[in-house]
Amino acid sequence: MLNVSVVLYKPDTERVTALCEEMLQAECVRKIYLLDNSPEEAPSEWQDALNRLPHRNKTPQIKYQWNNANLGYGRAHNIALRKSIYHRTAFHLVINDDVRVKCEDLDRLHHFMEHNPNVGCVMPKVIYPDGDLQYLCKLLPTPLDVFGRRFLPAWLMKSRNSRYELRASGYSRMLNVPYLSGCFLFLRTEAVLQARLFDERYFMYPEDIDLTRTIHRDWLTLFLPDITIVHDHARASYKSLRMTWIHIVNMCRYFNKWGWFFDSERRLVNRLTLEQLSSPTA
């Protein structure tokens, strides 16, 4: 079975309701945890309406929790992940509230994970609402990859950014990728437990790099192009000086942990990832 967690901050209640209503129609979904980091608790009328949503089975339930503080992305998701681990729920989906996914695709992903026990995490193809592809399969980043694409001219980073985002793959085949986006991570709970959940030192941004990188050590972390979801990606750090600063601080924490310029694991993992692009059977 599958548990789902969605971290909220001043949510669009209609959008969250539509997402929950769709996911509850999946056969695999057991519980949906809504973890609200907003300054104020959501209206009780909305919470009651969520619990009246139709669902395929009697088992699925929505659990709303107001955290009375902005805990950050990973720390809030960990609340639900610990419940999945405690109840031995086999799989857990981390999903943003600005994602649209079809219930039948959740069941397809669940079926894939059940039949591929060496896979710790999967992410489907992600597109913008207008149909354009989001390049969310990435190598493990160097400081230049992170800060160069943010602060240097686009023309100067074009070639390096294409390599970093694995664009040569065409996003048309399955790949074992060390860095998958946290907007949608279909996780094997055993792999998350082995990785010790999200690292709560990060408030937001690099926690998905950290988690998928750690899982990638012992499991396959796959991009699956045959399933597509829609993500209304806001890129908040490009629009707000405060979010830019949060991004910088947390990426510094990431490189302090893994290494800025001397990271032998990064070199090896990235080389093996790029070798897949030259293989016709990748």
> How far is CA 93 from each of CA 23, 120, 123, 159, 217, rounded to the nearest angstrom?
11, 12, 10, 33, 20
Largest CA distance in the chain: 55
Give the per-residue pLDDT at 151. Answer: 84
pLDDT digits (tens, 9 = 90+) for 137-166: 999 999 999 998 888 888 888 999 999 999
Task: Look at residue 22 in the predicted model and tell me its pLDDT.
Answer: 96
Kindly tell me if the per-residue pLDDT of 237 is higher than 70.
no
pLDDT classification of 239: cutoffs 50, 70, 90: low
Q: Is the pLDDT of residue 220 over 80?
A: yes
Token pair in block for residue 39: 């300054």
CATH number reported for the structural domain that contains residue 41 in this entry: 3.90.550.60
Helix (H, G, I), strand (E, B) or coil at 188: strand
pLDDT of residue 281: 56
Residue 153: what pLDDT? 87
Question: Cα–Cα distance between 268 and 226 in angstroms, integer?
Answer: 28
pLDDT of the residue at 276? 92
- Tokens standing for 27? 């056969």
Stronger pLDDT, 214 or 60, i.e. the higher one: 214
Q: Report, as an integer, the average pLDDT of 99-115.
A: 98
Task: Among 219-223, 227-231, 236-240, name the one with the lowest average pLDDT.
Answer: 236-240
**Residue 13 pLDDT exceeds 60:** yes
**What is the pLDDT confidence band of residue 83, given thresholds at 50, 70 and 90?**
very high
| Inter-CA distances, 81 with 66, 68, 94, 222, 245, Å | 16, 19, 9, 20, 28
Q: What is the mean pLDDT of residues 115-121?
A: 98
The mean pLDDT of 33-51, rounded to a whole number, is 95
Q: Is residue 57 predicted with pLDDT exceeding 80?
A: no
Distance between CA atoms of residues 8 and 34, nearest Å: 7
Whether residue 282 is predicted with pLDDT greater than 50 in this model: the reply is: no
* CB-based burial label for 200 (10 Å; 0-12, 13-18, 19+): middle
pLDDT at 270: 97
Q: What is the mean pLDDT of the chain?
A: 93
Structural domain tally of the chain? Answer: 1
CA distance 156 to 149: 9
As a whole number of angstroms, the distance between CA 32 and CA 24 comes to: 8
Question: What domain range includes position 128?
Answer: 2-278
CA angle, 112 then 118 then 122, to 5°:
50
Cβ atoms of 200 and 245 closer than 8 Å: no
